Structure 1
């Protein structure tokens, strides 16, 4: 790696100075209890496999979470180049500022903010050669062959397109390759999590799904309500992704998904990424949120829909994730509403940041008896297979 730091092409002193979080050794290492042979096998699999995170935020944030809105308003999030190098990931679906993008105002999902974010991040990446922008299968394969990391830019909601379907073409042309139908709040396409179970995919939403298919834009239903998600799967002619979620059967909160919604994704040939956002993928067997409760969701969903339809979208950050949720609670609505009683955690042990996630996921799978082929499927091959059917050749 070259040692490039974000926006290093600008003269020193050009940007406002923020004290940014560390990219590694943020919390004590998590002991998976592996013996030497298992640890070596896990390292080999991480090194050799195409490792794809369906959802993470591989950027650096201010240590003081209260300064994140001010930081985002500059329009310049800093890619975590060192953390990515240490992570073992080959491909990261990067949803940028997403629902916290308030560059020009105090509300998220503005079109101008999204375009600024998308363009600024790629302007930065254009000045180094170790992290590439993933727009095609060939890009992902090149990243794997050359030991680089590919960032696939996406949005958790299509809210910024408003009622202008051509904006999907613009986003695709600017490098976006994955988009959600709705975030927690409903929009012109369909219903989000906080608006209850009744709203579904709109007529305009159906047209948008068709255009997404035509473009080769991967569709995500992680934050749509179940009805909208299921109707999206029925409307799509391509596999649909649920990039970061879990099973409501294990933990009854709106943010997680019903068995019917999970099956609907699998029926399209799609993939469900297991999330590790704090205080979401808990289970009755592991009420303190750690890698163990997250993997309960992995095993439940794999049993429900088949191992070939499961992956991981940990949704981790290089910052105090719980603190960020508090800071943006007015924008990130519905994540843990009506949750059963459970211990509150400072972070999810074993899955605290992008730097450690897949190392511990692979180690856990090794320690629990999964074969090399099974591990390769769930850490990347399943997603790659779906993308071959979604993206243009």
Structure 2
């Protein structure tokens, strides 16, 4: 059955596929890729025709921004993922994004799976390869545009194009070189995390048993990101480090992709005090949807219903002005990706989290093409107002970026 997410391709998309400017097999290694559309069955929200029309209208009239995605296309055979990533080239889901209804997407590239020069991620050279090859691909077509200012986001929307905001989940690759933050800014990066699960020079990640908080160098890095206008993310930072970042930053920070630990007790989720502190300083939490993260006791089979349990909890906790969505999805087998990079993607100790069923994908939130159509559809089905929907699908993010950028 057709779900609310099934949208026609944007008028500005003209059929470009990644690396069309190159010769396959000669200029780059070719992998069979997962389909961008239809890999799994569509999710039926049970909407009426009138509700579907309202979903389409809301996506036309208001900016829709995903605060965190990896909109690359994975190999059809996910066991080839390491070899695929070693080439430095990840195909980008241009067609899928053209059907997403999104105004802008925060693209976080390979991040913790980047292994061009090393088996372990977060090397400076790997990050530069990753960003440069992606933006070269983007530069050779005319639908997706790199956005480094809010005006460029709005201009892309006016022109029927999609804005890409370059983001990184951690600052690990800067090592102890503060000026590398400026270099990344020069390459177009406008959002960056502090630590990715494991501790680095800036602070502790959420997998560490002992969180020493933001380091002296970390405070200097926060100050430099504030001065440059790079939005700071604390999604993968430890609890104490997260609180320190919120307090040290002169502007609001993001939790770009997480959920509430009070709903599902795992370190990958944020405790109430961190979510409150982020909101009290003007920040926003983007609700996560990567497989087996934002589960809930009411919906332990991970689906859009589990995700929205975290959404409702956070709205009740801090108000609708401080909640958005950062689904953290890609095109292809996301569960297989996690299985392939278990050690690299460590998310911390379970803290007695309840057993839960494993799922092959998150129903209704499987990829960037479907997430926001289904999110808006769910909100419409649950009688949220136009103003409330406009805030959580993009307006709250725009407000924060107006202060940060």
**TM norm structure 1:** 0.98
Partner of 1:351: 365
**Do residues 193 (structure 1) and 206 (structure 2) align?**
yes
Shift, 1:344, TM fit: 1.1
Name whichever of 68-77 and 39-48 sits farther off: 39-48
Instruction: Report the counterpart of residue 6 of structure 1 in structure 2.
Output: 18
In the alignment, which residue of structure 2 is the partner of 1:372?
386
State which of 141, 161, 185 in structure 2 corresponds to 1:128. 141
Q: Which runs of 5+ in 1 are unaligned?
A: none
For the residues of structure 2 that align with 1:130 and 1:65, how far apart are their CA atoms?
Answer: 28
- Whole-Å separation in 2 of the counterparts to 1:17 and 1:156: 27
- Residue 50 (str. 1) matches residue 63 (str. 2): yes
Which of 208, 214, 227 is 2:240 aligned to? 227
1:323 is aligned to 336
Give the drift of 1:335: 5.8
Offset at residue 196 of structure 1 (A): 2.4
Partners of 1:197 and 1:31 in 2: CA distance: 44
Q: Does the CA contact (< 8 Å) of 1:197 and 1:226 recur in 2? A: no
Q: Which runs of 5+ in 2 are unaligned?
A: 1-12
User: For 1:1-33, what per-residue CA distance to the aligned partner results, in whole angstroms no more than 9, with x for missing partners?
Assistant: 222211111134321110011011111111112
For residue 209 of structure 1, the aligned residue among 209, 219, 222 is: 222
Q: Are 1:384 and 2:384 counterparts?
A: no
Query: 1:47 deviation in Å?
Result: 2.3
State the alpha-carbon separation in 2 of the partners of residues 110 and 337 from structure 1.
28
Q: Shift of residue 39 of structure 1?
A: 1.4
What CA distance in whole angstroms lies between the structure 2 residues aligned with 1:92 and 1:293?
22
d(CA) in 1 for partners of 2:82 and 2:348? 19
What is residue 170 of structure 1 aligned with on the other side? 183
Partner deviation per Cα, 1:85-142 (whole Å, 9 max, x = no partner) = 0111111101101011110111100001101111111111111111000111111001
Distance in 1, Cα, partners of 2:136 & 2:295? 38
1:277 is aligned to 290
Q: Is the 8 A contact 1:57 1:315 kept in 2?
A: yes
**Residues of 2 paired with 1:336 and 1:132: CA distance?**
39
1:101-140 → structure 2 map (5 Å cutoff):
101-140=114-153
Asked if 1 retains the 8 angstrom alpha-carbon contact of 2:205 and 2:211, the reply is: no
Q: Secondary structure at the match of 1:60?
A: coil
Measure how far apart 1:336 and its partner are.
Answer: 7.3
Residue aligning to 1:37:
50
Closer/same/farther in 2, CA of residues 36 and 136 from structure 1, 3 Å limit: same
After TM superposition, the runs of 4+ consecutive aligned structure 1 residues lying more than 6 A away are none
Mark the CA change 1:336 to 1:36 in structure 2 (over 3 Å): closer, same or farther.
Answer: farther
Output the CA distance in 2 between the equivalents of 1:296 and 1:218. 26
Q: Which moved more, 1:236-245 or 1:263-272?
A: 263-272
CA distance in 2, matches of 1:216, 1:56: 20
Measure how far apart 1:36 and its partner are: 1.6
The 1:19/1:190 distance shift into structure 2, 3 A limit, reads same
Aligned pairs, number: 391
CA contact (8 A) 1:158 1:181 kept: yes
- 2:356 matches 1:342: yes
Whether contact under 8 Å (1:135, 1:152) holds in the other structure is: yes
- Cα distance in 2 for partners of 1:335, 1:352 equals 23
When normalised by structure 2's length, the TM-score is 0.95
Aligned to 1:307: 320
Whether the 8 Å CA contact 1:53–1:312 is kept in 2: the answer is yes
- CA distance, structure 2, for counterparts of residue 103 and residue 6 of structure 1: 19
Assess, with a 3 A threshold, how the Cα gap between structure 1 residues 206 and 354 changes in structure 2: closer, same or farther: same
